[in-house]
Structure 1
Amino acid sequence: MPQEHGGSIRDRVAYAPIHGRPRLQLPGGARVAVWTIVNVENWSPLGPMPRAVLPPPMGQPLLPDVPNWAWHEYGMRVGFWRFLEVLGERGLKATFAVNGTACTLYQEACVAAQEAGWEFMGHGHVQRPMHKVEDQRAAIADTIGAITDLTGKPPRGWESPGLTETDETLDLLAEAGIEYVADWVLDEQPVPLRTRSGGIVSVPYTVEINDVVISAVQQQRSDEIFQRGRDHFDRLHLDGAKTPRVMAISIHPYLTGVPHRIKYLEMLYDHILGHDGVVMWTGAEILDWYRTQVPADAGTR
C-alpha cells in the first residue's frame, strides 16, 4: 500500500456514490438508524488542555490550566449523569467512546455505562492525537485491555481522539481486532475500508451533529444541537425512503451535559422518537446490520 502523503488514504476506500449502490434494507422498512456517541476522556492537568473555553490571561499560558481542566472535569462530576438519565428515561443505549485510562480514573461513570447496557468503544489511551502517540500499537492494546478488564469483552469499535490517524493507524486497529471505526466522516452509510490485514468498516460518525463543533468551536447558541439535529434528521428521514441512512449524535458531558443545553438534547431525542421508520442503535448494532446486507469483502478487494 503506497505510503506517500495523501496516497494511502485514497487507496483505502473506493469512491462509490450513494445513488448507485444496491439498496440496503433496515428492519421493518425503517429509513434511519440513529446512534449516540458519549465521549469520555482523560484530560491530564499536567499538560496543555485538548481545548479551552477560557483563553490564557494576557496571552500567557499557564500550567496547570485549572479553569479549562475544571471545565472538562465538571462534565464527569455532573454532566455525564444527566446523559445517563436522559438516555435511560427514553430506553436508549449509547456507544461509549472512552479513553483507556478513563476506565479507572472515572470508574464509577464507566461502571454505570456498562450497567446501562451501553456499548464500549475505544477512544485512545489518553486524549491525545494519534500522531502524538509514541507507540500506537501499545496505546491501542492498552485501551483494548482496559475496556476488556472493565467489561469482560474487548471493544469492537474505535474513535481516535480528534478523529486523528496516521498512515498506519487503520492497519494497527484491524490487526488488534477492531471491526469498525468512526474516524472517516465521509458517508451516510457504512463504508468498507482496506487495511493490510483485511477489511474494516467505517460506521458514519459526525462533525456536524457534534457538540465539540457546535458549542466549543463554532460557539453556537445553546439550542443549536436541537435545531441542527432536527433538520439533519428530517432530511435523512426523507432521503431514507430511497435507501436507509445513518445519523450520529456525538456528545460530551462537559458540553451538552450542562444545564443550559441538556433540554435541547432531550428535545432532539423526542423529535426523533416521534417518527416511525427509525431504529435507535449502537455502533456495533449498525455494523452487524450492515454485514447482513453487504458481503464481508465488498469494497476491500
Structure 2
Amino acid sequence: MDRRERLIYSPIPERKKLLIDNKSKLIVWVIVNIEVWDPSQPQPRNVLPPPMNIPMLPDLPNWSWHEYGMRIGFWRFVETLKSRKITPTLALNGIVVDYYPKAVEEALNLDWELMGHGFIQRPMHKVDNEYVDIKTTIEKIKNFSNKDIIGWESPGLTETLDTLDVLADNGIKYVADWVIDDQPQDLIVKNKNRMLALPYTVEMNDVVITAVQNHSSNEIFERGKAQFEQLYKESKQTTKIMSISIHPYLTGVPHRINYLNKLLDYISDHDDVVFMTGEEINNWYCKNEDILS
C-alpha cells in the first residue's frame, strides 16, 4: 500500500479540540532507545572515522562508543528519570533481552513501557524476512517481560510498503515511524485494525542533534526549551504532544546528561503538562469519545 493510501490529510485548524480531564494540556513523551550493535558489521553510526578512511571490521572504536552507553549512559538515564518520577517508553531491539538483560529488568522494575524496535539495529529494508523479524521481536520482548507489546519504532524509522500491515497482524497498535504531526493520527492498514501514528520526533532526537547536526552539548536544552515553549503556548487551545528521544551513548555521556536534566526540570515546572508513555497516549486517544465522534 502506497504512503498516500495510508492516511487522510487533516489540517489542524479543522480538527476537534483534544482534551485531557476536560482541559487542554501538553503531553510530554520521553523515549529511551537501546540497541544491539554487531561489531563484525558496519556500525549504524560512527563517532571516529577509520584511519585513511578505509573501513575496517570489526569496528571496535565505534562499537565501543555505543557499548559505553549501555554500561554507563543508560544508568544515568535511570537516575535522571527515576528521581523526577518520569516514566518513559523504552524502545528496544528484540535481541537486547539477551545482550543487556539487566537494563531491561531495571526498566521493568520501574514500570517503563517496552516498545519494539526491530530485532537488531538494522533497517527494515535489510532484514531477510520482515514478517519473521517483527514477529520474533515482539515475541522475544513479550516472553522476557510478560507484557503485551503494542508500540513499534522501526530502526532508523525505516518501513517497507508492507511494514504497517505486518505490524498490525502482530498486534501493534501504534507506531513512531511517521513523524507527521503534533497529535496522534490514524493510519490505514489492510486488516482494518486501528493503527495510530504517535508524534515521535526527529527534531528533538539526540541522533539528529548530536550525531547528524553535530551541535554542542547544550543544544538538547536550548532546542528543547524553544520546542516546549511553542507547543506549550499552542496547547492552551488543544492538547499537543512533545516527544524527546534519547540514546544512552549520546545524551548519557557526562558532558550532556545535565542538559537533559535541566530540560526536564524546566518542563516539569509548568502547569498543565503531563508526562505519558506511548501506551498511555494510545489508550487516552482511543478511549476519548469526543475525539472519535
Which residue among 197, 202, 223 is the counterpart of 1:207?
Answer: 202
Structure-1 residue corresponding to 2:286: 291
Give 1:31 deviation, angstroms: 1.8
Matched, 1:124 2:151: no
Render the CA deviation track for 1:201-249: whole Å, top value 9, x for unaligned.
0110000000000000001010000000011011101001111100100
Fraction of identical pairs, as percent: 52
Matched, 1:193 2:169: no
Matched, 1:111 2:125: no
Which residue among 260, 263, 277 is the counterpart of 1:265?
Answer: 260
Q: Report if the CA contact (8 A) 1:215-1:255 is conserved.
A: yes
Q: Report if the CA contact (8 A) 1:30-1:276 is conserved.
A: no
Structure 1 runs not aligned, ≥5 long? 2-7
Which residue among 143, 150, 153 is the counterpart of 1:149?
Answer: 143
TM-aligned CA distance change 1:68 to 1:212, over 3 Å: same
Matched, 1:172 2:166: yes
Render the CA deviation track for 1:79-132: whole Å, top value 9, x for unaligned.
000000000000011100000000111000110011011000000000000000
Structure-2 residue corresponding to 1:245: 240
Matches within 5 A, 1:1-301: 1=1, 8-27=2-21, 29-198=23-192, 199-293=194-288
Structure 2 runs not aligned, ≥5 long? none
Deviating beyond 4 angstroms after TM superposition, the runs of 4 or more aligned structure 1 residues are 294-298
- Structure 2: distance between partners of 1:234 and 1:77: 34
Give 1:283 deviation, angstroms: 0.4
**Aligned Cα RMSD in Å?**
1.3
Give 1:150 deviation, angstroms: 1.4
- Normalised by the length of structure 2, the TM-score is 0.97
Give 1:154 deviation, angstroms: 2.4
- Structure 2: distance between partners of 1:125 and 1:44: 12
- Normalised by the length of structure 1, the TM-score is 0.95
What one-letter code is carried by the residue in structure 2 that aligns with 1:21? R
In structure 2, the residue corresponding to 1:29 is in which secondary structure?
coil
